[in-house]
A and B are shown apart, each in its own frame.
Chain A
Amino acid sequence: MKNSILVLFCLVSTVCSAWIFRELPEKKPFAILLEAAGDNLHAGRTLGELFESSFCWELAQQIKQNLEQKKSNIQCLLNRVPGQSLSPLANQNYANKLSVDLYVSINAFYSRDKEKSITLYQFSYHDTFILKENSLSFYPYDKLYLINESVTKEWTRMIKKQLATNSDLTVKGPYCLPFKPLIGIKAPAVAVEVGVTDTTNIQELAMIISTALAMIHEQQS
């Protein structure tokens, strides 16, 4: 009798210790790829004293800092470093190879009507059907967006809702159209086009955008 209790105790304690010290699956960080418009060869539009490419890179850098400070489980990547020139579809290859969770394209133009605005875009060719992901077949690169179209739609609406809480900004969209920087990306992808005025503050703008992006991560976790 005593022996059987001892065996039972040993068994229970082994199971308990195995459960306590079990190897927990490592939580994958939420990866966001921030694509700053332009590169070394394409300076983009002029925004007062700056060019679009340098403004967007600075903004993306600020967003990355804010997000990584706010959330430890967010991993932010930038598509380029200053002075780098990119080959066509380099951003798309980068995003698809890394299997990022969210792709954000950051663009900017000089707002002549002095209106601070953010316009949201998602890629669409007006094909309404949704593809089921199938690893055994090829997809044309311009149809890849269909895999995560519904998620993109949902997240873009969430970003808009969060951005709209800021009264200083006019938030337009989300609009679905063949927005070229988002072509060929498998992950949910959203483009942000900022209407810049002379009084635009990059830190402030970065804070607003990073708050909206952090909210998506919160909803996910």
Chain B
Amino acid sequence: MKIKETIFLSGLMLVAAAVFFLYQKQYIIFNIPGPIDISPVKAQKKQIEFFFFQEETIRNETQPVIFTDIPEQNMHLVVSRWLEIAFDEKIISKKITLQSAIASYDSKELYLSFDSLLWNKESSTFYKWTIIEGILKTIKNLGCGITGVHFLINHQIMYDYHLDFTNPWPIDGFMNCP
């Protein structure tokens, strides 16, 4: 009886050691299901100011946007809405889709990827610049701590013959540059 118990306990210990070893080496992963977070995303309607430059004058338009807890989603909503208004107001000549709005790891820089250029190739540099300034001023007005914006097309750096987008554009833009 004593021998049997000893063998049994030894076997048990061996199995326990093997399981512990496999767990430690991550051959076995325990996935204990926790409580499912079913708290709803806090959404609220906010009045957002959208800025547009026409020639050298700035004008703004206030429109409601549904805001959530997720800043990137808010940016996506705001910039998409800006594009819609700009198209309706004939500031941009074609419908442009914002593919994604992603913040950098420190939430200081924002990456905006569009499906095409925001202007046509016949546009003047001044016109192209004012479109960018309109987007920047609208984002700045949200007060979300973004300091620079990268402009992309299909997740590649936006290419334009006249404007350089290799570096992020400062959120203040260049309108007030001395």
Interface on A for B, CB 8 Å cutoff? 37, 42, 44-46, 107, 109-111, 119, 121, 124-126, 128, 142, 172, 175-181, 183, 193, 195
CB of B123 within 8 A of CB of A109, answer yes
How far, in angstroms, from A180 to B165 measured CA to CA in the complex? 9
Interface string of B154-178 (1 = CB under 8 A from A): 0000001111111101101010011
Q: Main SS of chain B's interface residues?
A: loop
CB of B164 within 8 A of CB of A180, answer yes
CB of B174 within 8 A of CB of A126, answer yes
B107 at the interface (CB under 8 A from A): no
Q: Point out the residues of chain A lying under 8 angstroms from B125, CB to CB.
A: 107, 109, 119, 121, 179, 193
Q: Point out the residues of chain B lying under 8 angstroms from A121, CB to CB.
A: 125
Q: Point out the residues of chain A lying under 8 angstroms from B170, CB to CB.
A: 126
Q: Quote the shortest CB–CB distance from A111 to chain B (angstroms).
A: 8
CB of B122 within 8 A of CB of A46, answer yes
How far, in angstroms, from A164 to B164 measured CA to CA in the complex? 28
The contact of B177 among A37, A107, A111, A124, by CB within 8 Å, is A124
CB of A109 within 8 A of CB of B122, answer yes
The contact of B174 among A45, A176, A181, by CB within 8 Å, is A176
How far, in angstroms, from A110 to B120 measured CA to CA in the complex? 13
Among residues of B, the one whose C-beta sits closest to the C-beta of A173 is B126
CB of A124 within 8 A of CB of B126, answer no
CB of A45 within 8 A of CB of B177, answer no
B121 at the interface (CB under 8 A from A): yes
Interface on B for A, CB 8 Å cutoff? 56, 121-126, 129, 160-167, 169-170, 172, 174, 177-178
A42, A45, A183, A195: residue with the most chain B Cβ atoms closer than 10 Å: A45
CB of B122 within 8 A of CB of A110, answer yes
Q: Quote the shortest CB–CB distance from B122 to chain A (angstroms).
A: 5
Q: Point out the residues of chain A lying under 8 angstroms from B129, CB to CB.
A: 175, 177
CB of B122 within 8 A of CB of A183, answer no
Q: Quote the shortest CB–CB distance from A47 to chain B (angstroms).
A: 9
Q: Quote the shortest CB–CB distance from A197 to chain B (angstroms).
A: 13
Q: Quote the shortest CB–CB distance from A214 to chain B (angstroms).
A: 25
How far, in angstroms, from A103 to B169 measured CA to CA in the complex? 25
CB of B160 within 8 A of CB of A119, answer no
Among residues of A, the one whose C-beta sits closest to the C-beta of B132 is A177
How far, in angstroms, from A179 to B169 measured CA to CA in the complex? 12
The contact of A45 among B122, B165, B166, B169, by CB within 8 Å, is B122
Q: Quote the shortest CB–CB distance from A190 to chain B (angstroms).
A: 13
Q: Quote the shortest CB–CB distance from A216 to chain B (angstroms).
A: 21
A37, A126, A181, A183: residue with the most chain B Cβ atoms closer than 10 Å: A126
Whether A45 contacts B163 in the complex (CB less than 8 A), given A126-B172, A175-B177, A176-B177, comes out as no
Q: Point out the residues of chain B lying under 8 angstroms from A125, CB to CB.
A: 167
How far, in angstroms, from A128 to B160 measured CA to CA in the complex? 25
CB of A180 within 8 A of CB of B124, answer no
Among residues of B, the one whose C-beta sits closest to the C-beta of A179 is B162
CB of B163 within 8 A of CB of A195, answer no
CB of B167 within 8 A of CB of A178, answer yes
How far, in angstroms, from A111 to B161 measured CA to CA in the complex? 18
CB of A44 within 8 A of CB of B161, answer yes
Q: Point out the residues of chain B lying under 8 angstroms from A178, CB to CB.
A: 163-165, 167, 169, 174
Q: Quote the shortest CB–CB distance from B101 to chain A (angstroms).
A: 22
CB of B121 within 8 A of CB of A124, answer no
How far, in angstroms, from A148 to B114 measured CA to CA in the complex? 35
Among residues of A, the one whose C-beta sits closest to the C-beta of B124 is A109
The contact of B162 among A107, A128, A142, by CB within 8 Å, is A107
